[in-house]
Amino acid sequence: MAHARSTPVDVSGWIESIPEAAPVSWCLPAYGGRVVVRGYDTYRSDLSPLSGSSRWMLDSTFVPLTVPMSERADGPHGTVFPGDCVIFFGGDSERPESHLWYPQRVIHTEAGRSGWQRVWAIRDTSEVPESLTDRSSTALPRWMRISQPLHGDRRRMALELFGLNVDCPVCGARGRPIMYGMPPGPPGPHIAIGGCLVDADNPSCSCHCGAHWRIGHDGDVVLAQTTAREWW
């Protein structure tokens, strides 16, 4: 995220080699996997090339061991684990304003001093579709302290930006994003088909419990009223 280094790093002790041609979704969470949203220490971050790769980079940074602000805090807090998908928020020397970075995959962690944890994560530097690049966000308040996890509407908004906001607001199970329009091929089992009528008010996710919903501009959940369609 800052302080680019040029010496390639060998991470073969932490993870098997990552294919150069892996899909853009490689850094996204495995089905049912955790997504953590975290601030980081800008002054203790650096980005190194991976040995043998021109595409993947290794982000090394320190993140706070977050504590929930209230019992209502949803989403994982506290320790970050290898295998987690992490969305970092914060700035760097080129873009000091706080923004959300494209999801990365955590491959190694170590305990840091006094409430900090060192985290290494894989960053994809290939050309990802416009819809998947890092997002600036005006909804991230300036006063937000990185020792607090994003929760509630802000967490949902962050996940929604990258199509990862699929936790059911009714039963809590992991739902499925709904794909509209003519699919280019058979969709994966984690995608629901929503028909050809594309409308901004359409629900964007569905759950096996029967709920379907979309996320409003502020990250608020808008449950769909109609159950006329079989979304699941």
For 163, the token pair is 């199509």
Interface segment toward Zn ion; rule CB under 5 A; list 147-155, 158-166, 171-179, 194-202:
171-179
**Rounded to a whole number, what is the largest CA-CA distance in the chain?**
58
How far apart are alpha carbons 83 and 106 in whole angstroms? 5
Q: Count of residues binding Zn ion (CB under 5 A)?
A: 7
Count the helix, strand and coil residues of the chain and give each as a percent rounded to the nearest 5. 10, 30, 65
Quick note: the x/- pattern for Zn ion over 205-224, rule CB under 5 A, is: --x-x-x-------------
Q: Helix (H, G, I), strand (E, B), or coil: what is residue 158?
A: helix
Which positions from 52 to 91 touch Zn ion by CB under 5 A, shown as an x/- string?
Answer: ----------------------------------------
Return the number of the residue (209 or 222) whose C-beta is nearest Zn ion.
209
Q: Which residues pair with 193 in a beta bridge?
A: 179
Residue span binding Zn ion (CB under 5 A) among the ranges 29-37, 146-154, 201-209, 212-220 = 201-209
Residues linked to residue 37 through DSSP beta bridges, in sequence order = 87
**Cα–Cα separations (whole angstroms), residue 125 to 20, 27, 42, 204:** 11, 11, 19, 28
Which of 1, 168, 215, 221: binder of Zn ion (CB under 5 A)?
168
Interface with Zn ion (CB under 5 A), residue from 4, 22, 24, 171: 171
Closest distance of CB 209 from Zn ion, Å: 3
The Cα-based distances of 107 to 9, 72, 139, 212 in angstroms read 13, 29, 29, 33
Is residue 174 a contact residue for Zn ion (CB under 5 A)?
A: no
Binding region for Zn ion (CB under 5 A): 168, 170-171, 173, 207, 209, 211
